[in-house]
Amino acid sequence: SQQGEEDPQALSIQEGENATMNCSYKTSINNLQWYRQNSGRGLVHLILIRSNEREKHSGRLRVTLDTSKKSSSLLITASRAADTASYFCAHTETTGRRALTFGSGTRLQVQP
Amino acid sequence: GAGVSQSPSNKVTEKGKDVELRCDPISGHTALYWYRQSLGQGLEFLIYFQGNSAPDKSGLPSDRFSAERTGGSVSTLTIQRTQQEDSAVYLCASSLVIPLQGAYGYTFGSGTRLTVV
């Protein structure tokens, strides 16, 4: 399996603090995406970064991509209790499987 | 429809019975995906449909699993002779696919929680 790895597996912070989650992968990618999941059900797409991009912002989210290190990070600034969820990175490969391969996820708990 | 619809939302079945899970993707999305997620785990790829191309079935865990997509829209995932290890949440997603750019972000359904007893 070419499943990505994420760290930390779990993260607990206070409201207002920043949360950083990291993701690594093993193959050459087309793009990398981050998703959020509440309550173990459907995932919600947060942001997509292409392999020729290094950084992308969306509201309180900042994503970086380092293709030389095969890694990405998701930063959530000024966290809120409502940000409590599991966060997954996922990538598509340049060869092989066209569907997204998901990482193992980071469980974020934001304490009010 | 406005989103990806999956049915049933919950299914309890006896070991050895067959089950069918349904996914109704967003209208116009050419790509459809099935994943499953065991408790506290990441998503495991099962199968991918794209337009009229042959589906990528490389993630199906055994020949008890099959899926079809009729008319490029609704998809059904069938599990025959269910086993307890099949218990999981089965998630369907759809997306647009742009030539030379690949797939955009996926829109997921709420999933079907399958429990095999």
Q: What is the pLDDT along chain B (117 residues), one digit of tens a residue?
A: 579 999 999 999 999 999 999 999 999 898 999 999 998 788 999 999 998 889 999 999 999 999 999 887 999 999 999 999 999 999 999 998 876 666 678 999 999 999 999
Higher pLDDT, A96 or B107: B107
Shortest distance between the Cα of B18 and any Cα of chain A, in A, equals: 23
What does the pLDDT look like over A42-59, one tens digit per residue? 899 999 999 999 999 999
Shortest distance between the Cα of A21 and any Cα of chain B, in A, equals: 15
- Contacts with A31 from chain B: Cβ below 8 Å: 102
Residue A1: pLDDT band with limits 50, 70, 90: very low
Backbone angles phi, psi at A85, to 5 degrees: 180, 180
Could you give the percent of chain A with pLDDT greater than 90? Answer: 77
What was the pLDDT predicted at A95?
78
Neighbours of B41 (CB within 10 A): 14
Q: Rounded to an integer, what distance in angstroms lies between the CA atom of residue B57 and that of residue B47? A: 5
What was the pLDDT predicted at B110?
95
Which of B38, B106, B107 to probe the A interface (max A CBs under 10 A)?
A: B106
Q: Rounded to an integer, what distance in angstroms lies between the CA atom of residue B105 and that of residue B99? A: 15
What was the pLDDT predicted at A79?
97
CA angle (A99 as vertex; B10, B27 as ends), nearest 5: 65
Return all residues near B46 (Cβ < 8 A) that are at least 6 apart. B33, B34, B35, B36, B59, B60, B61, B65, B67, B77, B90
Residue numbers of A between 24 and 83 with CB closer than 8 Å to B: 30-31, 33, 35, 40-45, 48
Nearest chain A residue (CA) to B91 = A42
What does the pLDDT look like over A5-44, one tens digit per residue? 888 999 999 999 999 999 999 989 889 999 999 976 789 9
Say if the Cβ atoms of A101 and B104 lie within 8 Å.
no
Neighbours of A96 (CB within 10 A): 13
